[in-house]
């Protein structure tokens, strides 16, 4: 233990003494700038309204690339460039319909949304419905009960989790794997209860995948209200049949880009501090929280450094990733490229959990890095950021993980996120200006401190 | 210091050992109950939609009293009773109009709302406008510049405060005292920029008061957008005159009630733990956050004890105060009555800062009480409550302060509160179910712990 504390102490002395007072003054200025003069709210309006939703491969995704490139150039960064990748190109199509017929022959139309990656129905799929609430149930029903039916996965997100992200994580397997599991038992198609804790009529889309290219059945989300009603009708033996029509399809992969901008470090230009979010979104709503917020907050970090004339010691790189939602091709390509080029990343931070009041940081690094970042905690308390804990960072930066680099996720308040997530409600109007700005100020501040003091890497300290 | 620590230690041993594990299990159950089966969201809908806004003295305030009485009786409390008080009775009237005329003779109608307590205009008041941004300015303009004019107080809430309550506290003096200060310099009437950080067209009302009954001039709030535009027009010398019409008036005081319900303590029935909010609201919107949320959360504390079969050692008392908004007659009367009867209150908690994600507690007690409550902090961390700090509790319970009793305010996230506060936007739809429930669970949990372990009073420990 003493040895360990000595390591941290030595790191402090090596990298220059931690000046609590100067830092608290600088952080106060970063917050003041963001809360009075920052551009992230204005930029978010533009991304949502001028570009709109932007699924990988779509025209609007290309427009988003141009938008990000333009904004970065306007911010007067040292370098702005595009990193070419190939992305999946899935399109929703015009037809989306789920209708069940009751025993009296009355038709009930459900609010539905094809899951991203789903095949279409190629006409109408009609069948009986079987409700499944856990994987064991699927298994025990087995082929004899499931073959020729439409499987309805209706396990709700658990409302007792305090972090709604945790509730999502424990539920999204049915959306992602439902079709590939159900097809093994001969299902015709899959309906999934929307991933939200809200009881309303909005369907929430999201990614799904197939294991076997020969066994692909369509899958769609239905709203929680519809899921509830359908489940009730099934309990009452009042569902005669259900018909599903989806015209979505997968087109050939296409070209897209990560958009990257940098401020070159004055002392250690080869050490990179990355901050980012993803430019793509689902194709309903405007991708305002997911992840317009992360995009404009990340841009704001570099803008704040420029406008406040803070010259970073290390190179600050803002990465607007493409294709987080349905493939993570941007994140994977970026990480491969880093490896190929032998670039040295010190710290990577992602904002991709909505533009809500920031609560802290989720840190995926060594114990030493975690303990070191916790020494900053006091500086963030006046801004009501309290979470500095070990945890997941983000999908885009995930592939960079190498045991040395410190990955960090911004953690905003999670209560409202899944009200909007992947639905038509994820629009600019549902993002709160101050909450968004507080997030931008929080990540700018931690980037400022990390740039100023560096960060212990396990290798360095093993020497 | 050692003596002090000994005191805390002794208190622990006296009141029974703090059992972290048992308590964390109980708190988990309290949260589970609130997040799955609690009634506070349903009750809030009923209060907002069946009763609506409920300014002291109004018919709907009387309806709110009956509503609270009914709900408490339904909750099967040991005692439910009304505490009669007299309340001011101010009415808005049908006419509210602020129009300024530009140099070309064009009329510009502003979104306005008379301040509560304001006299009416008795016809139309017309005059030139003078903008004031701080009290020094008012003084230096003096009588010669102000006499016969309408004073426009336009100091905005400071966006750099992290707590919006702090920004409000540093700005609301112009709303409350603007008329009484301006009349000293001969002003005809007063307009005040709405107390909100949002830039929109909603006027926000609120209380004001007069110092001298012979010098009463009308006062109204205008929206922040209108305040901005009027200010710009003044800068451009483009405001020819402004006309104000308000038909509000003060009626004679009338009768109303605090509504009180109790669960009798099994061991120390004469020791009272109070939890409360205020039943009255302003007369626009539905008083959903202010303070419908606090009302239904406080009710929920007692309901949770009943439904979970927790028998409190001390008497739990829920007080639905009347007249917080424009007089605090309920709070003052309640405290006087406590004194008169020699009732012993141990702990009083108020929820009156909106139904948003709870962040912690603001504690107005002795250092010993503060330090003691901080020992509970660890139990609240899994629920992301981190603030346990010295601070203001609430208007209603404030008059109970006696140097011994520990007063506590629930502190929710403050970013959105003043978007709604005292405006037509303070409606049920703007309260988030889970955030409201998390607040109810938080206060139930701290009441549970305080009931179980008691609380050090300075007198007791001085023995």
Q: Quick one: closest CA in A to B32, which residue?
A: A160
- Determine the pLDDT at residue A19: 77
Closest-CA residue of chain B to A33: B160
Q: Within 13 A of B208's CA, how many CA atoms are on the CB side?
A: 33
Contact B351, B301 (CB under 8 A): no
| A357–B197 CB contact, under 8 Å | no
Number of H helices, E strands in chain B: 15, 17
Q: Mean pLDDT of successive 10-residue segments in chain B (463 residues)?
A: 55 56 96 98 98 98 98 96 98 97 97 98 98 97 98 98 98 98 98 98 98 92 98 98 98 98 98 98 98 98 98 98 98 98 97 98 96 97 98 98 96 98 98 98 98 77 36
Taking the C-alpha atoms of residue B221 and residue A251, their distance in angstroms, rounded to an integer, is 57
User: What is the rounded CA–CA span in Å between residue B139 and residue B121?
Assistant: 25
* Inter-chain residue contact B162 with A382, CB threshold 8 Å: yes
CB contact under 8 A, B160 and A415: no
CATH 3.50.30.30 in chain A, residue ranges: 93-247
User: Which DSSP string do the residues of A220-264 spell out, in sequence order?
Assistant: EEE-HHHHHHHHHHHHTT-EEEEEEEE--EEEEEEEEEEEEEEE-
| Residues B387, A384: C-beta atoms closer than 8 Å | yes
pLDDT at A463: 31
Residue (of A317, A310, A309) closest to A396 by Cα position: A317
Residues of A in contact with B382 (CB under 8 A): 162
Which residue, B198, B167, B160, is CA-closest to A34?
B160
Q: Compute CA A24 distance to the chain's CA centroid, rounded to the nearest angstrom.
A: 30
Chain A interface includes B29 (CB < 8 A): no
Q: What is the DSSP string of A22-62?
A: HHHHHHHHHHHHHHHT--HHHHHHHIIIII----TTSHHHH
Interchain contact, B35 vs A387, CB within 8 Å? no
Residues B160, A35: C-beta atoms closer than 8 Å: yes
CA separation for the pair A258, A68 (Å, rounded): 10
Architecture of domain A2-88+252-462: 3-Layer(aba) Sandwich (3.40)
Output the CATH code of domain B93-247: 3.50.30.30
Question: Which of A163, A377, A384 to probe the B interface (max B CBs under 10 A)?
Answer: A384
- Verify whether the Cβ–Cβ distance B160 to A36 is below 8 Å: yes
CB proximity B50 to A under 8 Å: no
CA-based torsion, B131, B137, B141, B142: positive or negative:
positive
| Cα A23 from chain centre | 30
Q: Does A297 touch chain B (CB under 8 A)?
A: no
Q: B107-150 pLDDT, tens per residue?
A: 999 999 999 999 999 999 999 999 999 999 999 999 999 999 99
Determine, for residues B432 and A416 on separate chains, whether the beta-carbon distance falls below 8 Å.
Answer: yes
Tell me whether A387 touches chain B (CB under 8 Å).
yes
User: What pLDDT, in 10s, does the model give residues B403-443?
Assistant: 999 999 999 999 999 999 999 999 999 999 999 999 999 99
Cβ pair B432:A438 closer than 8 A = no
Q: How far apart are CA B343 and CA B315, in angstroms?
A: 11
* B413 CB within 8 Å of a chain A CB: yes
Distance from CA of B408 to the nearest CA of A (A): 19
CATH topology of domain B2-89+252-462: Aminopeptidase (3.40.630)
CB contact under 8 A, A384 and B36: no
Q: Does A237 touch chain B (CB under 8 A)?
A: no
For residues B109 and B100, is the Cβ–Cβ distance under 8 A? no
Contact B384 A359 (CB under 8 A): yes
The ranges of chain B annotated as CATH 3.40.630.10 are: 2-89+252-462
Q: Rg of chain B's alpha carbons, rounded to an integer?
A: 24
Q: Which two tokens stand for residue A455?
A: 């960060």
Question: B197 contacts in A (CB within 8 Å)?
Answer: 434
When CB atoms are compared, the residue of B387, B413, B438 closest to A357 is B413
pLDDT in tens, chain A (463 residues): 555 555 555 555 444 455 789 999 999 999 999 999 999 999 999 999 999 999 999 999 999 999 999 999 999 999 999 999 999 999 999 999 999 999 999 999 999 999 999 999 999 999 999 999 999 999 999 999 999 999 999 999 999 999 999 999 999 999 999 999 999 999 999 999 999 999 999 999 999 999 988 899 999 999 999 999 999 999 999 999 999 999 999 999 999 999 999 999 999 999 999 999 999 999 999 999 999 999 999 999 999 999 999 999 999 999 999 999 999 999 999 999 999 999 999 999 999 999 999 999 999 999 999 999 999 999 999 999 999 999 999 999 999 999 999 999 999 999 999 999 999 999 999 999 999 999 999 999 999 999 999 998 644 543 3
Shortest Cα distance, chain A CAs vs residue B160, angstroms: 5
Phi, psi of B193 (to 5 degrees): -60, 135
A357 touches chain B (CB under 8 A): yes
In chain A, which residues fall in CATH 3.40.630.10?
A: 2-88+252-462
């Amino acid at each position: 233990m003493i040895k360990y504390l000595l390591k941290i102490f030595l790191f402090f002395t090596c990298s220059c003494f931690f000046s609590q007072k100067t830092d608290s003054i600088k952080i106060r200025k970063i917050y003041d700038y963001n809360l009075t003069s920052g551009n992230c709210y204005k930029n978010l309006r533009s991304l949502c309204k001028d570009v709109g939703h932007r699924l990988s491969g779509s025209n609007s995704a290309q427009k988003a690339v141009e938008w990000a490139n333009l904004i970065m150039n306007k911010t007067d960064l040292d370098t702005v460039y595009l990193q070419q990748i190939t992305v999946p190109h899935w399109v929703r199509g015009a037809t989306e319909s789920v209708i069940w017929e009751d025993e009296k022959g009355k038709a009930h139309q459900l609010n539905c949304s094809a899951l991203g990656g789903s095949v279409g129905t190629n006409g109408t799929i009609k069948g009986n419905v079987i409700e499944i609430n856990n994987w064991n149930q699927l298994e025990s029903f087995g082929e004899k009960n499931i073959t020729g039916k439409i499987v309805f996965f209706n396990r709700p997100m658990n409302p007792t989790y305090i972090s709604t992200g945790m509730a999502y994580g424990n539920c999204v397997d049915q959306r992602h794997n439902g079709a590939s599991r159900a097809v093994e038992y001969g299902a015709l198609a899959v309906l999934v209860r929307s991933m939200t804790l809200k009881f309303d009529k909005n369907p929430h889309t999201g990614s799904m995948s197939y294991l076997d290219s020969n066994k692909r059945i369509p899958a769609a989300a239905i709203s929680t209200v519809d899921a509830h009603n359908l489940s009730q009708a099934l309990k009452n033996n009042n569902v005669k049949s259900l018909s599903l029509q989806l015209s979505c399809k997968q087109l050939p992969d296409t070209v897209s880009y990560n958009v990257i901008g940098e401020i070159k470090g004055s002392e250690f230009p080869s050490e990179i501090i990355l901050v980012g979010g993803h430019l793509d979104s689902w194709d309903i709503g405007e991708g305002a929280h997911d992840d317009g917020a992360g995009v404009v907050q990340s841009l704001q970090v570099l803008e704040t450094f420029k406008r406040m004339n803070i010259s970073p010691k290390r190179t600050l790189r803002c990465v607007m990733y493409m294709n987080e939602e349905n493939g993570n091709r941007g994140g994977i390509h970026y990480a491969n490229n880093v490896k190929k080029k032998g670039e040295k990343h010190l710290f990577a931070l992602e904002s991709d959990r909505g533009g809500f009041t920031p609560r802290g940081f989720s840190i995926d690094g060594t114990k030493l890095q975690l303990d070191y970042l916790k020494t900053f905690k006091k500086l963030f308390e006046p801004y009501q950021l309290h979470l500095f804990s070990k945890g997941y960072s983000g999908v885009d930066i995930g592939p960079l993980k190498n045991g040395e680099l410190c990955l960090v996720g911004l953690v905003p308040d999670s209560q409202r996120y899944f009200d909007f997530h992947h639905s038509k409600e994820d629009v600019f109007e549902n993002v709160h200006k101050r909450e968004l700005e507080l997030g931008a100020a929080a990540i700018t501040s931690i980037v400022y401190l990390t740039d100023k003091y560096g960060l212990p890497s396990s290798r360095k300290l093993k020497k």
